[in-house]
């Protein structure tokens, strides 16, 4: 066990100005936006830290856009509880229906309530498209997850800042939480990402900020957040329990029905594609028309076609 101590947490000389730097980015005249991924075990304080960063950023946004004389409460215009989607992907679409310029949004534990199988569904594909639209709104979006692989690869590829919480990072007796903050550089040619700590030049000195401090967010956020999270978690548990009971009742039947439905859909599309090819279209054009993958069409057309497809042809189910 080791004890972490924070000296002068509120001293301006120890501040990394993280909120200010984010605010400067999303208020830039150059149409800038920012995506942040916060990773940490359950109970590590990710959600409250995300709200604290959002509040500080919103405060600086109000000062930048409205001037230094703007009321202190105006941060609420750029971040509030309505700017959060908690746990469920379904909440993401509702949140992005009300996107506003220079706002900060939090997708809290998004992906926890969904399995890898769900990520292949249209719901997840639509969510990816929605997430990419915020780039035109000069916004900042913060993802909080237990593991970065719990969100889809599209959002992960858009992340530009990375925050990591350690088990020993909670200095709760002092009302603060510690985390590591890194900038991400994407090497698209190599398919790699480089993580680097924040470096600031101040009064001739070059400072590297390894750990950052998150403080308790205001009650106007934490009280409704905790209530919403309990309600959503309870609803999700009830939904998952129902699905488990349904699967336990007849797992083989559900699996067989899914496989049969997929095969019948492929066979139907193959028949339509074949007819279009006979009418003069190329295989690629016909597949684009029917929605059948070109490689699947070629595989079903070959002599090495799957046994189930050959059986359907022999039974006369296709022609």
Position 62 pLDDT exceeds 90: yes
Q: Which residue has the higher pLDDT, 210 or 141?
A: 141
H/E/C letters for each residue in 34-91?
Answer: EEEEEECCCCCCHHHHHHHHHHHHHHHHHHHHHCCCCCHHHHHHCCCHHHEEECCCHH
**pLDDT given at position 26:** 92
The average pLDDT across 238-264 equals 68
DSSP β-ladder status, 176-187 and 211-215: antiparallel
Res. 119 pLDDT band, cuts 50 70 90 = very low
**pLDDT given at position 103:** 94
Residue 268: left if φ>0, alpha if ψ -120 to 50, beta else—which one?
Answer: alpha
pLDDT in tens, 27-43: 988 778 888 888 888 77
Res. 262 pLDDT band, cuts 50 70 90 = confident
Q: What is the DSSP string of 195-255?
A: EEEEEEEETTEEEEE-EEEEEPPPHHHHHHHHHHHHHHHHHHHHHHHHHHHHHHH-HHHHH
What is the reported pTM? 0.66
Q: Which residue has the higher pLDDT, 132 or 291?
A: 291
């Amino acid at each position: 066990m080791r004890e972490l101590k924070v000296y002068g947490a509120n001293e301006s000389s120890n501040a990394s100005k993280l909120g200010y730097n984010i605010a400067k980015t999303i208020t830039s005249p150059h149409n800038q936006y920012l995506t942040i991924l916060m990773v940490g075990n359950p109970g590590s304080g990710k959600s409250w830290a995300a709200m604290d960063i959002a509040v500080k950023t919103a405060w600086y946004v109000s000062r930048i856009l409205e001037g230094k004389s703007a009321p202190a409460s105006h941060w609420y215009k750029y971040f509030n509880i309505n700017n959060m989607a908690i746990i469920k992907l379904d909440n993401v679409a509702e949140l992005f229906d009300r996107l506003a310029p220079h706002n900060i949004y939090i997708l809290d534990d998004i992906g926890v309530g969904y399995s890898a199988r769900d990520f292949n569904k249209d719901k997840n594909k639509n969510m990816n498209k929605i997430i990419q639209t915020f780039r035109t709104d000069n916004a900042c979006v913060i993802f909080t997850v237990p593991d970065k692989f719990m969100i889809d690869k599209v959002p992960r590829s858009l992340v530009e800042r990375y925050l990591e919480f350690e088990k020993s990072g909670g200095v709760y007796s002092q009302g603060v939480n510690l985390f590591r903050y890194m900038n991400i550089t994407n090497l698209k040619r190599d398919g790699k990402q480089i993580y680097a700590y924040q470096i600031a030049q101040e009064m001739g000195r070059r400072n590297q900020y390894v750990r950052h401090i998150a403080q308790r967010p205001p009650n106007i956020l934490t009280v409704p957040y905790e209530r919403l999270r309990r309600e959503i978690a309870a609803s999700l548990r009830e939904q998952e329990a129902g699905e488990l009971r349904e699967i336990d009742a007849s797992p083989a039947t559900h699996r067989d029905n899914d496989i049969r439905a997929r095969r019948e859909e492929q066979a139907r599309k193959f028949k339509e594609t074949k007819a279009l090819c006979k009418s003069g279209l190329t295989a690629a054009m016909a597949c684009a028309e029917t929605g059948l993958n070109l490689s699947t069409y070629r595989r079903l057309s070959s002599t090495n076609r799957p046994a189930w497809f050959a059986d359907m042809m022999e039974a006369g189910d296709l022609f």
